[in-house]
């Protein structure tokens, strides 16, 4: 199998600060947000592994407590149940994520929409189970209550317009990676790679000066793609990551706001490399939903480093944006 290596055209000196440190690479693992997390890091000589684990667990627990649509007591669930026309003061982290989700919804032409919670439930990918594909009338009703343009944000408050069901699955995991990374950096950890359910963020390097390497999942008929994550984040969105088989057929978790139904186009996956994982996560979803024609054009217009994997009758085909192609040159 051939291999291609993506390397940033510019590597900040800070990315090499941990080279020749003589420190060992430690590993910590755990579970959160319905998936697993893994931290690889250079432990300072006066560092405490227990404290580092606690920093990660606290950051992830904060995101779950505020933004989980699976937890009926979360801040998000309380907002979803709120009366029409009511304003709600949101925790700083929750507001930060919702504000960013709305911005990316606007910039993507609505391809990534944080208000699709009811549609997600109807298709069986939320906390409300569904045994069959939804009835068209139910989809129409859910779509009428969805739409990011119905949201109103003001300072640290959000308006519940009535029946709006937030679902931040396409962005909260990336934010959780960022929040845990911020906590580690504030503690003084400078060289680490953190992964949560396939979303990654790195800082610094390995003790031998090598970058933290990450692989982008590619089918066997395409080159293996490896990324030097030098103070960068990586996220991938793919229809195969979550599927359901019902008596009516197969469906996936990526809901197209334009139709209210899962995507059916030829895009198999989209990977995005960005400074912050919140952006990589949300944009990977938006570009996947946008599809094989609009997606690459949208990524180019936003200057995103993105890799599209498409299914064709002759096998898989890839599209790399200009920003990502420069990492290969």
The structural domains of the chain, with segments of one domain joined by +, span 1-235
* Residue matched to tokens 């667990």: 57
Cα(86)–Cα(80) distance, rounded to whole angstroms? 11
Residue 290's CB is within 10 A of a number of other CB atoms, namely: 27
CB 171 within 8 A of CB 35: no
The residues near 129 (Cβ < 8 Å, ≥ 6 apart) are: none
E strand or H helix that includes residue 235: strand 233-238
- First-last CA distance in the chain: 20
Cα(85)–Cα(162) distance, rounded to whole angstroms? 6
CB 143 within 8 A of CB 153: no
CB 256 within 8 A of CB 263: yes
CB 114 within 8 A of CB 257: no
CB 324 within 8 A of CB 216: no
Cα(52)–Cα(56) distance, rounded to whole angstroms? 7
Cα(269)–Cα(161) distance, rounded to whole angstroms? 33
- In 68-91, which residue ranges form alpha helices assigned H by DSSP? 75-81
- What DSSP character marks residue 116? B
E strand or H helix that includes residue 141: helix 136-145
Instruction: Spell out the per-residue pLDDT of the chain, length 329, in tens.
Output: 688 888 887 665 555 565 667 788 999 999 999 999 999 999 888 889 999 999 999 999 999 999 998 899 999 999 999 999 999 999 999 999 999 999 999 999 999 999 998 888 887 777 766 656 666 677 777 778 889 999 999 999 999 999 999 999 999 999 999 999 999 999 999 999 999 999 999 999 999 889 999 999 889 889 899 999 999 999 999 765 444 444 444 455 688 878 867 877 789 999 999 999 999 999 999 999 999 999 999 999 999 999 999 998 888 999 999 999 998 76
Q: Classify 205 as helix, strand or coil.
A: coil
Residue 26's CB is within 10 A of a number of other CB atoms, namely: 14
| pTM metric for this prediction | 0.91
CB 17 within 8 A of CB 190: yes
Residue 71's CB is within 10 A of a number of other CB atoms, namely: 14
1-235, superfamily in CATH? ApbE-like domains (3.10.520.10)
Token pair belonging to 263: 């995507």
Q: Classify 94 as helix, strand or coil.
A: helix
Cα(305)–Cα(283) distance, rounded to whole angstroms? 10
Give the pLDDT score at 245.
45
Token pair belonging to 81: 């149940």
Give the pLDDT score at 18.
59
The residues near 167 (Cβ < 8 Å, ≥ 6 apart) are: 69, 114, 115, 116, 117, 120, 126
């Amino acid at each position: 199998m051939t291999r291609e290596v993506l390397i940033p055209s510019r590597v900040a000196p800070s990315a090499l600060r941990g080279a020749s440190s003589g420190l060992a690479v430690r590993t910590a693992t755990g579970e959160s947000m319905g998936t697993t997390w893994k931290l690889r890091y250079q432990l300072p000589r006066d560092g405490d592994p227990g404290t580092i684990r606690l920093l990660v667990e606290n950051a992830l627990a904060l995101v779950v407590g505020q933004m989980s649509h699976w937890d009926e007591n979360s801040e998000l669930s309380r907002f979803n149940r709120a009366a029409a026309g009511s304003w709600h003061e949101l925790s700083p982290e929750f507001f930060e994520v919702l504000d960013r989700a709305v911005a990316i919804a606007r910039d993507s032409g609505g391809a990534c929409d944080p208000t699709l919670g009811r549609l997600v439930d109807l298709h069986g990918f939320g906390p409300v189970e569904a045994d069959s594909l939804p009835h068209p009338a139910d989809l129409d009703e859910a779509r009428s209550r969805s739409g990011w343009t119905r949201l109103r944000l003001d300072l640290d408050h959000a308006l519940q317009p009535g029946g709006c069901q937030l679902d931040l699955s396409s962005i909260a995991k990336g934010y959780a990676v960022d929040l845990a990374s911020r906590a580690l950096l504030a503690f003084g950890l400078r060289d680490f790679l953190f992964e949560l359910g396939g979303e990654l963020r790195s800082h610094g390097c390995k003790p031998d000066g090598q970058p933290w390497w990450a692989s982008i999942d590619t089918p066997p008929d395409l080159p293996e793609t490896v990324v030097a994550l030098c103070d960068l984040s990586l996220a991938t969105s793919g229809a195969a990551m979550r599927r359901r088989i019902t008596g009516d057929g197969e469906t996936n978790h990526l809901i197209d706001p334009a139709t209210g139904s899962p995507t059916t186009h030829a895009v198999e996956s989209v990977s995005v490399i960005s400074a912050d994982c919140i952006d990589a996560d949300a944009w990977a979803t938006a570009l996947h939903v946008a599809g094989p024609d609009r997606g690459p054009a949208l990524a180019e217009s936003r200057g995103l480093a993105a890799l599209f994997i498409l299914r064709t009758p002759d096998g898989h085909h890839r599209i790399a944006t200009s920003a990502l192609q420069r990492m290969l040159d």
